[in-house]
């Protein structure tokens, strides 16, 4: 069985941002040489997320509004965690959006349903963060 590991690094310009990383993950699948297997993609920071959904700007705006209603950034004083930092909302948003995705690899390609894409969700950005891509298979 083959095993492949790569870290993808991101530095967003805004505190919150959604980035389609599907082409980067597809490149990893090609580099791995795996034709049949599994691809794990996970955010390695507790204020960022990896998730699968549609690449539609209106939906991404809906995510932003919905998440802000669930876990508003301000006032900072509403969260106990913010006694140490000001990113408690980012931890909560990450919990809702998820840590990782696993996608089947079939015939050397990510085996997606219609419209599915992989996204990196940043909730406390403007600094270096990484995503792990781990691929196993034959």
Helix, strand or coil, per DSSP, at residue 108: coil
Position of tokens 């948003």?
A: 93
pTM: 0.97
Q: Quick one: which of 16, 42, 20 has its CA closest to 103?
A: 42
Q: pLDDT of 85-120, one tens digit each?
A: 999 999 999 999 999 999 999 999 999 999 999 999
Walk me through the domains of the chain, giving residue ranges and CATH numbers.
2-137 (2.60.120.460)
φ, ψ at 125 (rounded to 5°) = -85, -155
Q: What is the pLDDT of residue 18?
A: 98
Q: Quick one: which of 34, 18, 44 has its CA closest to 120?
A: 18
Q: What is the pLDDT of residue 101?
A: 98
Look over the chain and give the mean of its residue pLDDT values, rounded to a whole number: 98
Q: What is the pLDDT of residue 38?
A: 99
Q: What is the pLDDT of residue 88?
A: 98
Alpha-carbon gap, residue 11 to 2, rounded angstroms: 30
Q: What is the pLDDT of residue 84?
A: 84
């Amino acid at each position: 069985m083959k095993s492949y590991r790569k870290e993808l690094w991101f530095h967003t310009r805004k505190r919150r941002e959604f980035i389609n990383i599907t082409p980067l993950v597809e490149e990893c699948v090609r580099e791995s040489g795996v034709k049949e297997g599994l691809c794990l993609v996970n955010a390695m920071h507790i204020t960022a997320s990896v998730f699968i959904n549609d690449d539609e700007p209106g939906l991404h705006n809906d995510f932003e509004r919905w998440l802000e209603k669930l876990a508003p950034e301000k006032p900072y004083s509403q969260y106990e965690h913010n006694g140490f930092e000001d990113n408690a909302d980012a931890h909560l948003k990450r919990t809702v959006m998820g840590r990782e995705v696993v996608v089947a690899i079939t015939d050397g390609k990510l085996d997606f349903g219609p419209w599915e894409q992989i996204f990196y969700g940043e909730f406390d950005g403007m600094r270096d963060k990484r995503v792990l891509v781990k691929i196993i298979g034959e």
